[in-house]
Amino acid sequence: MRRTVFFVSDSTGITAETLGNSLLTQFDGLDFKRITLPFVDNHKTARAALSRIETAAVQDGARPLVFATMADPDLLDFLTDGRALVLDLFRVFIGPLEAELGLPSSHAKGRFHGMADNSTYDVRMDTLNFALTHDDGMSTARYPQADLVLLGVSRAGKTPTCIYLAMQFGVRAANYPLTEEDLTRQSLPKALVPIRLRLYGLTIDPERLHRIRSERRRHSAYASLNQCRKEITDAEALFRSERIRSLNVTSMSIEEIGSHLLQEMGLERRSF
């Protein structure tokens, strides 16, 4: 049976989506149709939201699930009048927090992910620019300013990891692709030696690497399973001989890789 799931928010809906999806992964075998309704911050938009929820209820023949983050209690009450299970992520926790902190909450809508603070924006832009200009070994001049430099063979996941670290955590990450020459020589390129302690290796199972490379260049020598095996063997040998910590990312999401790196390198995040 299909269930429609709504994420309704007076802001972007990211908080509702994140917790809602996290909860839904605990229920196997159901077919969820997800709809995000952001910027529901007045009675007109709330009426439109309720109308979509009611329509889904009729079409599915079952109550939709509504994950809501609304700072305005009136708008939330309005939604709960409909034919849906409304799980409000704010109201449940605001009470205990007010009691613990001894303060009333501000009930200010759309605060989170707002740009109350330009400095957070600037940090993310700075670190994102750093990741982009130091992608794929393009420039090594500012490596000493990097919080970490990821090493790995082509398509091991270095670029998305660097970008994620910049966007999510404000961490300044560069990446360096291990070349045929580095792998044959089995020693670090000179530019990396002074920052040895900030190096971190990414590795991946050859079969998965083969599949990823094949999507870009099918039937190439570059994508062949043999080539992938050889490069990974050499890269892992280099990490061992140079005592560079490394992580096998074969079955990890970008989020998991990012959290592991932050924790293992003891990095401070610059944005929350």
Smallest gap from Cβ 26 to a second copy, in A, equals 4
Asked if 152 and 173 touch (Cβ cutoff 8 Å), the reply is: no
Smallest gap from Cβ 41 to a second copy, in A, equals 12
- Identity of the residue, 159 or 246, whose beta carbon is nearer to a second copy in the bound complex: 159
Q: Whole-angstrom Cα distance, residue 241 to residue 185?
A: 12
The enclosing H or E element of 174 equals: strand 173-177
Burial of 11 (0-12, 13-18, 19+ CB in 10 A): buried
Instruction: Please count the residues of the chain.
Output: 272
- Identity of the residue, 140 or 250, whose beta carbon is nearer to a second copy in the bound complex: 250
Q: Which amino acid is at 182?
A: D
Smallest gap from Cβ 27 to a second copy, in A, equals 6
Place of tokens 């708008």: 75
- Identity of the residue, 81 or 181, whose beta carbon is nearer to a second copy in the bound complex: 81
CB atoms within 10 A of CB 5: 23
- Identity of the residue, 90 or 176, whose beta carbon is nearer to a second copy in the bound complex: 90
Smallest gap from Cβ 97 to a second copy, in A, equals 6
CA 182 to chain centre: 31
- Identity of the residue, 206 or 238, whose beta carbon is nearer to a second copy in the bound complex: 206
3-state SS, residue 35? strand
- Identity of the residue, 135 or 231, whose beta carbon is nearer to a second copy in the bound complex: 135
Smallest gap from Cβ 185 to a second copy, in A, equals 29
Smallest gap from Cβ 58 to a second copy, in A, equals 17
Strand order in the sheet with 2-9: 31-37, 2-9, 65-69, 85-88
Q: Give the strand pairing for 2-9 and 148-152.
A: unpaired
Smallest gap from Cβ 182 to a second copy, in A, equals 23
First vs last C-alpha separation in the chain: 38
Which has the closest alpha carbon to 257: 190, 173, 182?
Answer: 173
Q: Give the strand pairing for 65-69 and 85-88.
A: parallel
- Identity of the residue, 95 or 194, whose beta carbon is nearer to a second copy in the bound complex: 95
Smallest gap from Cβ 214 to a second copy, in A, equals 12
Token readout for 79 is: 């939604």
- Identity of the residue, 63 or 230, whose beta carbon is nearer to a second copy in the bound complex: 63
Counting Cα atoms < 13 Å in the Cβ hemisphere of 178 gives 30
